[in-house]
Amino acid sequence: MGTEKNILVKLENAGYSQNNKWLVRGVSLEVEKGKIVTLIGPNGSGKSTTAKIALGIYKKIEGNVEKHTKKVGYVPQKVSIDWTLPLRVSDFMVLTESLKDDAIDEALSLTGVGHLKNKNLGNLSGGEFQRVLLARAISKKPELLVLDEPVQGVDFTGEIALYELIKKISDELNCGILLISHDLHTVMSATDHVVCLNGHVCCSGSPIDVAKNIEYKALFGEQASQILSVYEHKHDHVHSHEGEIKKN
């Protein structure tokens, strides 16, 4: 294939369990340089867990993870800053990597929050904080970006701009991106590869392939599927509420 050296992170049949319950199991995927891989799936389907397996945050896992880069930028789904810790945006920007002032300014203005540099992190709105999180992750010019719902709480126009920014970053830095998103429109337009999760990999492939996939349709409904396709065929299994898979 000759593409081996471009792979940044590779999961093989990976799974993670907590309190004797599998959060996600049997996930195989790889993120290459310059490619955007998106995880979609309903709540509790193991998207964040999969991201954390890929990042090496969960260590006691089933299966295999290979990470071929150390330059990682991560936007977690939830970050809460305690009042006991006084932290300005500029302090947060240099949390894991020392940056020059210019680099901080540049990253912050890319995500539209240059004016918040000296503000206290605790006083930001949800959307502002999300923009700071994204700015921090891209400021270190990572090879691998893992973005767990990076635009949650961001206003509508901002959302579009940030997704454009993410696409631009992927091209400019030639970094690989593992994206978790609820916005199916964006997923379908900007992504190279989609992995649809529901405790396991339901289906994966190019956005068009996935949109056509019957399991995707079962998960997200007809409408979601019509975003790109009206392709239809019979279900071969259904998901019960307990997450079991039953053949029709």
Partner 1 sequence: MFDDFFIRALFAGIGVALVTGPLGCFVVWRRLSYFGDTLSHSALLGVTIAYSFELNIAVSVFLVSSIIALFLIQLQKKTNLPGDALLGLLAHSSLAIGLVVIGFLTFIRFDIMGLLFGDILAVTVNDLIIIWVGGALILLVLKLIWKPLFASTVNYELAEAEGLNPDRAKAIFTILMAAIIAISIKMVGLLLITGMLIIPAAMARNISDNPQKMVLFSVIGGLLSVIIGLFSSLEFNTASGPSIITASLVLFILSLLKIKQSIQLKN
Residues that bind partner 1 (CB under 8 A): 52, 55-57, 70, 72-74, 76, 79, 81-82, 84-88, 91-92, 95-97, 120, 140, 146
**Least distance CB 227 / partner 1 (angstroms):** 31
Kindly state the smallest distance separating residue 24's Cβ from partner 1, in Å: 16
| Minimum CB–partner distance for residue 53 and partner 1 (Å) | 11
CB of 118 to partner 1, least distance (A): 9
The answer to whether 150 and 8 are in contact (CB under 8 A) is: no
d(CA 182, CA 208): 17
**Rounded Cα–Cα distance for residues 172 and 69 (Å):** 18
For 112, which DSSP code?
A: T
Q: Which two tokens stand for residue 84?
A: 């006991």
Helix (H) or strand (E) holding 155: none
Q: Which of 72/202 has CB closer to partner 1?
A: 72
Q: How near is the Cβ of 86 to partner 1 at its closest, in Å?
A: 5
Find tokens 């996930």 and name the residue: 27
Comparing CB distances to partner 1, the nearer of 54 and 210 is 54
Q: Which is nearer to partner 1, 86 or 221 (CB)?
A: 86
Q: Mark residue 77 as left, alpha or beta (left: phi above 0; alpha: psi -120 to 50; beta: remaining).
A: alpha
Q: In the complex, what is the shortest distance from the CB of residue 232 to partner 1, in angstroms, rounded to a whole number?
A: 40
Q: What are the two backbone dihedrals, phi and then psi, of residue 25, each rounded to the nearest 5 degrees?
A: -150, 145
Q: In the complex with partner 1, which residue's Cβ is closer, 177 or 203?
A: 177
The residue among 70 and 233 lying less far from partner 1, judged by its C-beta, is 70
Q: Rounded to whole angstroms, what are the CA distances from 184 to 26, 57, 231?
A: 23, 27, 17
- Angstrom distance (rounded) from CA 73 to CA 143: 8
Q: Judged by CB, which is closer to partner 1: 88, or 167? A: 88
